[in-house]
Structure 1
Amino acid sequence: MTTKRTRAADALTDLIIDVLRLNGLLVTAGDRMVAQLGLTSTRWQVLRAIIDAEHAQPVAWLARDMGGNRQNVQRIVNDLQKMGFVTLEENPHHRRASLVVLTDKGRRTYDEASRLQVPWANGLSEDLAIEDIDTTRRVVAELRKKLELNGERAST
């Protein structure tokens, strides 16, 4: 077993540290941005996962799609349900795994959060080359795919 990192592994380790720091900053910025709507970054992320799904899904599937764990996503779905942003409906395929369904209030709140995000994203992306953003996204997607193949799961 090699105990010395390659140059690529050193560069990847530095990238990982930068991504973790960026994540913290993004969560803080997102929390501030949507606080007036009763959301947090995590609640907003779960709403996005519900919207991105082709049809209503149980919490476990949403967690899988988000790369998180079921217990954390369940806690957030419970919060969203109390706030009237989602409802739980009977799952014809599994009695104990209810389907998470976005309410009209949830859709309006998500849409408003998205409107708040537009000027922020436009400002952040200013002076960044679209090619660099696309390359970064491909690298992140490839790393995620490798981790998923190895059975790694992130916590949300």
Structure 2
Amino acid sequence: MSGTPEQELLSRTALGTFRLNGQFLAVSEELARPAGLTAAWWQVVGAVLHEPLPVAGIARTMGITRQSVQRIADLLVTKGLAEYAANPAHRRAKLLRPTEAGREAVRRIEPGHAALAARLAAELGEAEFAETVRVLERLSAALEAVGAVGAVTEP
């Protein structure tokens, strides 16, 4: 590949991230399946476990489109895993919250999730695992800071 060293680093970072995304999606599907969830359903229910959120808020947190979250949220409500509640801050943007069945489904995932986390921590070491999280969070913040998310422009 031709280009600057920075372009090479960006390309390698992107390719590595795409591969990680695929790996995380595959393992998430595997963990979620016995609980009757898909990875996407688990992701949306997980986003509202601690506090109800509007669909747009879930989408911002997850970095995906509002329409994708809306489709999944509606499915979760139909399946009885989540419900819509009134939003005191915005009449039209209802809040999504898990039902007890949704919470129970996520609880069934926790043992496999904990086992995978322990195996990764053992493979990487606690300090390197924490550093990985820090670097990924820093990269995400840097992409937002340079305006790369939503509008790629010439320098």
What TM-score results when the alignment is normalised by the length of structure 1? 0.84
Structure 1 unaligned residues grouped into runs of 5+ = none
Q: Deviations over 1:92-144 (max 9, x none)?
A: 22222111111111111111112221122222332312222222212211111
Matched, 1:98 2:94: yes
How many Å apart are 1:151 and its aligned residue? 6.0
Matched, 1:110 2:103: no
Residue aligning to 1:14: 12
Matched, 1:4 2:3: yes
Corresponding letter in the other structure for 1:17: L
**5 Å matches for 1:74-153?**
74-149=70-145, 150=147, 152=149
C-alpha contact (below 8 Å) 2:47/2:58 kept by paired residues: yes
**5 Å matches for 1:8-47?**
8-47=6-45
Distance 2:124 2:87 in 1: 44
Q: Which 4+ residue blocks in structure 1 deviate beyond 3 angstroms? A: none
Residue-pair matches, total? 148
Distance 1:134 1:105 in 2: 32
The match for 1:50 among 42, 48, 51 is 48
What TM-score results when the alignment is normalised by the length of structure 2? 0.84
Q: Deviations over 1:24-66 (max 9, x none)?
A: 12211211221122211111111121124xx322100111111
How many Å apart are 1:22 and its aligned residue? 1.6
Distance 1:104 1:151 in 2: 39
Corresponding letter in the other structure for 1:5: T
State the secondary structure of the residue aligned to 1:88.
Answer: strand
State the secondary structure of the residue aligned to 1:84.
Answer: coil
Structure 2 unaligned residues grouped into runs of 5+ = 151-155
- Quote the sequence identity (%): 31
State the secondary structure of the residue aligned to 2:124.
Answer: coil
Residue aligning to 2:153: none
